[in-house]
Chains A and B, each alone.
Chain A
Amino acid sequence: MNTSVSIGSLTLRNPVTVASGTAGYGEELSGYCDIARLGAIFTKGLSIEPRPGNRGPRILETPSGMLNSIGLENVGIGKFLSQKMPFLREKGATVIPNVAGHSVDENVELCRVLSETPGVAALELNVSCPNVKEGGMAFGRSVPTFTALVTAVRKVATVPLIVKLSPNVTDVTEFARAAKDCGADAVSAVNTFLGMKIDIRKGKPHFLNKVAGLSGPAIRPIALRIVYEMCARVDIPVIAIGGIGSIEDVLEFLMAGACAVSIGTMTLVDPRAPISCVERLEDYMHTTGVSDVREIIGRAQTA
């Protein structure tokens, strides 16, 4: 039985990964599963300097979902290399750092350094964080800005390059095509949807940043539609994200054409969800007589 999938020159042992921002640097998750058994771990969005993240409320539950305004709190590249990578390497995890610099130059520098770091399997460029004032989603909503960044990063990234797309645009597929044209190896689709909450008692927005990112099962059907359309129109590997938490969800997104999936918010609900999806995918393939996971990928595209 073959569960492996390819992203450029990288082979993942299975298509079940954990999404950036919901898996920390693997330390906590390793208390709930053998992180080496996951397809990959996308670590928390990195900047050169440590970031404290946003003040005020950061999380709020919504119907079948949640809003977050974390603001890319992270340890910075120095501590990531000296303290986080050794742990991840020792555990045998497939590590894909998420790169979230403020500027083109910062992202280029981060990608250059991380490309030279042993144990970094690929890079995920974050052009879609809705919770920071500079960088983040600002890179991911205009095709020329997006193209300039991806092109610059591609020149220094010597490992497979994945671009994490924002859904807060008219046509996400246009950005997937631009990523491919700039030489990206894959795209992650999608980051959180811009949302909001107003505290009616105080008569003002709940989050200090006013808007926040919506994730979880609430966005799953929208993410599925975006991934399905993207896979039909652009020939680039897609890592699907959007409220995925069960084997049924994993199969839906693979059948839509995604080559892999990322479990995000549902890992927060149950840190055992990712490993459970890995195991259940194997069970599913066994009971349905699928010998290669690639037989599932895109099945719903041709139907």
Chain B
Amino acid sequence: MAQLIADPREVARGHHELAFAWDGAAPLPGQFISIKVNEGSDPLIRRPFSVYDFREGVLRIVVKSVGRGTRELSRYAKGDALDVLGPLGRGFSVREGGSVLLVGGGVGNAPLYFLARALVAKGTAVTCVYGSRDAGQVYLSHEFLEVCDRLVITTDDGSAGQQGTVADLLPGVLDGGAFDMICTCGPALMMKAVTEIAVSRKVPVEVSLENYFGCGVGLCYGCTVDTVNGNRRACVDGPVMDGSVIRWDSLD
């Protein structure tokens, strides 16, 4: 059991940061944890969350309230114990040196902060395109700003940063610099668009899938994705995968 070290903190509209003491295995950027939100049988299945940050024994996640399970989590309090399984899955490649472009959308920005920290620690230059629906849903951008060499915020309605989707902005960002790799996390349609742009420019791209998970540990085959190499389970073969091998139409 993992004990919350603070009350859940609303970091943007409908988004809460949960910070808890973690003495399990150290997570890697892009890995996730899986939480049973209560002791009962309803909601039944665990909820997966990417790791926003882990340092000095404290693990942080960002929970977007989308349903009963996530709302229940935001009502926990300091000192409460969480039933956490993890760290799970395969994370991002943490490149040493060179320049990496991170592209996030909504709650999918969360794992990119942890990745940015790891990249910077290895001497890699980090540019981050942080996409959000509107200004009210931009969370923890000051922390991204501290770590990234360059942060580009974009919102669908232009209420913060530049107006447009990350896919709209991406060609311009790529024109403005040379990148060795792109790492992205967000809605499937966004990652599909990012992958198409990356492939067309011959930049390697890693995506972190946000499928509906049953077990999160590879048992149920509920999160299978179709790839050029056959079926892969997003939870154990991912959530981070080479974007260019995914048959994106199967995720529609």
Chain A positions near chain B (C-beta within 8 angstroms): 21-24, 27-29, 31-32, 44, 52-53, 55, 57-61, 63-66, 68, 70, 73, 216-218, 265, 267-271
Contacts and interface: CB of A to CB of B under 8 A. Distances in A.
A269 B215 CA distance: 6
A218 B226 CA distance: 31
Contact of B219 (A28, A55, A58, A217): A28
A73 B231 contact: yes
A28 B221 CA distance: 12
B220 interface: yes
Given A59-B214, A269-B46, A270-B36, A70 B222 contact: yes
Contacts, number: 85
Given A55-B250, A216-B44, A68 B236 contact: no
A22 B220 CA distance: 5
B239 to A, nearest CB: 15
Interface of B: 36, 41-46, 85, 212-215, 217-224, 226, 230-231, 236, 250
Contact of A68 (B36, B41, B220): B220
A267 B221 contact: no
Given A53-B224, A60-B212, A270-B36, A28 B45 contact: no
What 9 A-B pairs are tightest by C-beta distance, nearest first? A59-B222, A268-B215, A28-B218, A59-B214, A217-B41, A64-B41, A58-B222, A64-B42, A73-B221
Given A21-B220, A70-B222, 15 more contacts: A27-B218, A28-B218, A28-B219, A32-B217, A52-B231, A57-B212, A59-B45, A59-B222, A64-B41, A66-B45, A73-B224, A217-B41, A269-B44, A269-B46, A271-B219
B78 to A, nearest CB: 25
Contacts of A44: 221
A70 B220 CA distance: 8
B42 A63 contact: yes
15 contacts: A22-B215, A24-B218, A28-B236, A29-B219, A52-B226, A52-B231, A58-B214, A59-B220, A66-B45, A68-B214, A68-B220, A70-B222, A218-B41, A269-B46, A269-B215
B247 to A, nearest CB: 10
A269 B44 CA distance: 7
Contact of B221 (A55, A57, A70, A271): A70
Contact of B214 (A52, A55, A64, A66): A66
B41 A216 contact: yes
Contacts of A28: 217-219, 236
A268 B214 contact: yes
A31 B217 CA distance: 10
Nearest to A59: B222
A52, A59, A218: which has the most chain B beta carbons within 10 Å? A59
Contacts of A268: 45, 214-215, 217, 219-220
Contact of A64 (B44, B85, B236): B44
A271 B220 CA distance: 11
Contacts of A65: 41, 44
A203 to B, nearest CB: 17
A24 B214 CA distance: 13
A66 B250 CA distance: 22
B224 A58 contact: yes
A106 B66 CA distance: 45
A28 B226 CA distance: 21
Contacts of B46: 269
A58 B211 CA distance: 11
Given A73-B224, A269-B36, A61 B43 contact: yes
Contacts of A63: 42
B154 to A, nearest CB: 27
